Structure 1
Amino acid sequence: MARQDETPAHGPIRTCVGCRQRAAKRELLRVTAGTDANGQPAVVPDPTGTAPGRGAHLHPTPDCYDLAVRRKAFTRALRLEGGRSAAPVGEYVAARPAVNPLDQTRNWSNSS
């Protein structure tokens, strides 16, 4: 039996703020509080996972994005005051090619 402080062999596990299912961190898109292209406060994608501050994780699919927006999950998970636009995340997710979620070889942070 593994100790609680040990991570599984396949890496850290995170929960998608959209569908609330647990998945390997590498399968999810990290999002953070930041600014959009116009300098307005927004929830923005962090595909490299290197932005400072609190982050939330999301399956990079339109379905999970829509669920997260409907449930106001970004505001709650990032502990933000008031609503912020999540449009930059929606644009990022919409621009991603459709990928079978069972395909474990895809690495979101290194794809172009």
Structure 2
Amino acid sequence: MAREHIPSACPEPSFPVRTCVGCRARAAKDELLRVTAGSDAHGQPAVVPDPTATAPGRGAHLHPTAECFELAVRRKAFGRALRVATGLSSAPVGDYLDSQKYQP
């Protein structure tokens, strides 16, 4: 049985939309920070920022705010979104967000 296309009340946006792993709100892809599973400066598994969105592999998206970052850490959303079973350090993303806060 073929599915019928049912038109929605809201038209599809003409730009890529992603969901923030922190607050779970949908936003334009260019408004969010992409993060990937990688390693920190000591070689330990960690969530690392990918501001250019060019790193290979699975990524997750996050509003670049402290509130969404803290929600994602508290909900343990990074591990689920990146499909990584082991605990990942989120310190590199926190450091990145702190460094971007003071940029003009």
TM bin (shorter chain): 0.7 to 0.9
Match of 1:8 among 10, 13, 24: 13
* Among candidates 41, 46, 52, match of residue 42 of structure 1: 46
Q: Which runs of 4+ in 1 moved over 6 A?
A: none
Q: Once superposed, what is the RMSD of the aligned Cα atoms? A: 2.1
1:91, distance to aligned residue in structure 2 (A): 0.6
Indicate whether 1:58 and 2:62 are aligned. Answer: yes
* Unmatched runs of 5 consecutive residues or more in structure 1: 99-110
> Gaps (5+ residues) in structure 2?
1-6
Residue aligning to 2:37: 33
CA distance in 2, matches of 1:83, 1:39: 14
Instruction: Give, in angstroms, the shift of residue 95 of structure 1.
Output: 1.4
Whose radius of gyration is greater, 1 or 2?
2
Aligned to 1:97: 101
TM (norm. structure 1) is: 0.79
> What's the TM-score, normalizing by structure 2?
0.84
Q: Output the CA distance in 2 between the equivalents of 1:50 and 1:58.
A: 16
Which residue is equivalent to 1:24? Answer: 28
Aligned equivalents of 1:67 and 1:8: distance in 2?
26
Query: Aligned-pair distance for 1:97?
Result: 2.5
